[in-house]
């Protein structure tokens, strides 16, 4: 029977197929509402001494549990997925399960050790994001946006007092938390310091920035993602230049000298002018810093865009590697003469492996295991070849509107048609407004 390998969390589950050979069951959605039923079924089956196969069959009946071995994937002569057939009474679709009322499940760090990546006392203030950025897997797969009550979060802050650790506030966009100013006051009022996972430049407040600066933050990070307003309209980012300059003002007023921008290159429908616009924007923000007395650094963290499952861009090709390398070169060469601007570009090589894994099928899983046995990511390209798979086909092929995707046993709550229309809206630069109470647009809220 053992071991039974169960995986959860967004990276493993938005497209579980490349891992399907090594994972027995995936938890699709939020553990709080899936794990109790999963554990009941597990213990009952184990007490009855059922076979491993019977255990898997029973687990597959738990809402939100996906057992990949109970789904047959068949491929056409072109090597592309043709059909997915559930077997042994497994459900045709696995619906993502999510928590309606976050207050029922306060979430904070439980394993307190110095030996962690984030040596904070983490408190989750909110989950999901309703901003509809079209590239963002988190935005699509954690809908709808939900906040914990301030009273619940402040109770968590009081709990943290005994550990004397910095508070790390978790959420897709912390500045969207409606009571962020009060929460900052509470945390600093308790004599604690704080950090945030991320904030949006259009909703950040002076109180939040002051609190971060008082907590020792040296660099304020903003995520315009793109340099031109055209490109930001395509991705529905909703951040305009005025928001960036306002957020910079807040940072400067709080004594923060350094700033960082998250930028993507190779976005859908991107043109040369959009790349030049990144150079232009960085130059103007740096000018602004200097005009306001900051000799600090402006860092551009640049990542090649990777189309992700369950987003409107899941049908689109990833930009050609040569194009991305050229765009990265434009950024580094144009900005290198400018003192105190640093451009850091993620390795396109790694990004293209991520690109294959993001939209890969079970066949890619074979290549993953082969690469793992032969040296890891360095051996991935060779492993794909040895398995008779073309990286280019996974990366650069525009998918047909009705193509069956490997991840389509899962149901995230919105229809395929809805996200396809979002892709069309991107092409036409049409905006999509954020989630609101009473909205039923995408289907997640019934």
Binding region for ligand SF4 (CB under 6 A): 129-131, 133, 136, 138-139, 143-144, 172-173, 200, 435, 439-442, 444-445
Question: From edge to edge, which strands make up the β-sheet containing 25-27?
Answer: 6-8, 25-27, 65-66
CB of 331 to ligand SF4, least distance (A): 21
The rounded Cα 122 to chain-centroid distance in angstroms is: 18
Tell me the residue number closest to ligand SF4, measured at CB.
139
Kindly tell me which of 136 and 395 has the beta carbon lying closer to ligand SF4: 136
3-state DSSP assignment of residue 379: helix
Q: Closest separation between CB of residue 96 and ligand SF4, Å?
A: 12
- Kindly report the length of the chain: 446
Beta bridge partners of 94: 410
From residue 15, give the alpha-carbon distance in Å to each of 137, 386, 418.
11, 23, 19
Q: Which is nearer to ligand SF4, 130 or 268 (CB)?
A: 130
Least separation in angstroms between residue 200's CB and ligand SF4 is 6
Quick check: 97 and 30 in contact, CB under 8 A? yes
Nearest to ligand SF4 of 223, 367 (CB atom): 223
In whole angstroms, how close is the CB of 132 to ligand SF4 at the nearest point? 6
Give the nearer residue to ligand SF4 in terms of CB position, either 139 or 365: 139
Minimum CB separation of residue 189 from ligand SF4 in Å reads 28
Pick 93 or 441: Cβ nearer ligand SF4: 441
CA 72 – CA 88 distance, rounded (Å):
11
Q: How many C-beta atoms lie closer than 10 Å to residue 31's C-beta?
A: 15
CB of 241 to ligand SF4, least distance (A): 17
- Our CB check for ligand SF4 shows the closer of 65 and 129 to be 129
- Distance between CA 436 and CA 441 in Å, rounded? 10
φ/ψ (deg, to 5) at 365: -55, -40
CB of 199 to ligand SF4, least distance (A): 9
Q: Within 13 Å, how many C-alpha atoms sit on residue 154's CB side?
A: 15
> Which of 352, 446, 442, 399 lies closest to 141 in space, CA to CA?
442
Q: Which is nearer to ligand SF4, 64 or 296 (CB)?
A: 64
């Amino acid at each position: 029977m053992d071991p039974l390998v169960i995986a959860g969390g967004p990276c493993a589950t938005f497209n579980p197929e490349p891992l399907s050979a090594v994972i027995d069951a995936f938890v699709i959605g939020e553990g709080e509402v899936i794990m109790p039923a999963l554990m009941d079924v597990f213990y009952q089956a184990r007490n009855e001494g059922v076979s491993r196969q019977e255990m898997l069959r029973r687990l597959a009946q738990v809402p939100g549990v996906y057992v990949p071995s109970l789904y047959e994937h068949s491929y056409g002569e072109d090597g592309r997925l043709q059909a997915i057939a559930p077997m042994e009474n497994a459900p045709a679709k696995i619906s993502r399960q999510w928590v309606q009322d976050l207050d029922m499940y306060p979430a904070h760090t439980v394993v307190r050790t110095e030996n962690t990546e984030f040596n904070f006392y983490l408190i989750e203030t909110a989950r999901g994001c309703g901003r509809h950025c079209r590239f963002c897997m988190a935005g699509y797969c954690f809908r709808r946006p939900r906040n914990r009550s301030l009273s619940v979060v402040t109770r968590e802050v009081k709990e943290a007092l005994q550990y004397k650790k910095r508070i790390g506030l978790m959420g897709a966009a912390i500045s969207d938390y409606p009571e962020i100013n009060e929460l900052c006051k509470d945390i600093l009022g308790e004599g604690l310091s704080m950090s945030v996972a991320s904030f949006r430049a259009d909703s950040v407040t002076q109180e939040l920035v002051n609190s971060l600066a008082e907590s020792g933050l040296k660099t304020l990070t903003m995520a315009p993602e793109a340099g031109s307003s055209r490109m930001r309209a395509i991705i529905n980012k909703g951040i305009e230049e005025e928001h960036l300059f306002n957020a910079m003002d807040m940072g400067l007023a709080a004594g923060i000298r350094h700033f960082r921008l998250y930028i993507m290159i190779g976005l859908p429908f991107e043109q040369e002018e959009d790349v030049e616009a990144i150079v232009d924007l960085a130059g103007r923000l740096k000018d602004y810093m200097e005009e306001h007395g900051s000799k600090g650094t402006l860092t551009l963290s640049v990542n090649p865009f990777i189309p992700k499952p369950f987003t409107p861009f899941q049908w689109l090709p990833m930009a050609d590697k040569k194009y991305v390398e050229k765009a990265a070169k434009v950024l580094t060469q144009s900005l290198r003469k400018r003192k105190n601007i640093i451009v850091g570009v993620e390795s396109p090589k790694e990004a293209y492996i991520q690109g294959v894994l993001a939209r890969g099928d079970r066949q890619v899983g074979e290549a993953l295991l082969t690469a793992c046995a032969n040296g890891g990511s360095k051996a991935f390209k060779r492993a794909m070849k040895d398995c008779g798979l073309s990286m280019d086909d996974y990366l650069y092929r525009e998918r047909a509107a009705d193509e069956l995707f490997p991840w389509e046993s899962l149901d995230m709550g919105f229809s395929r048609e809805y996200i396809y229309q979002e892709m069309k809206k991107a092409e036409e630069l049409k905006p999509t407004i954020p989630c609101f109470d009473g909205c039923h647009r995408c289907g997640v809220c019934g």
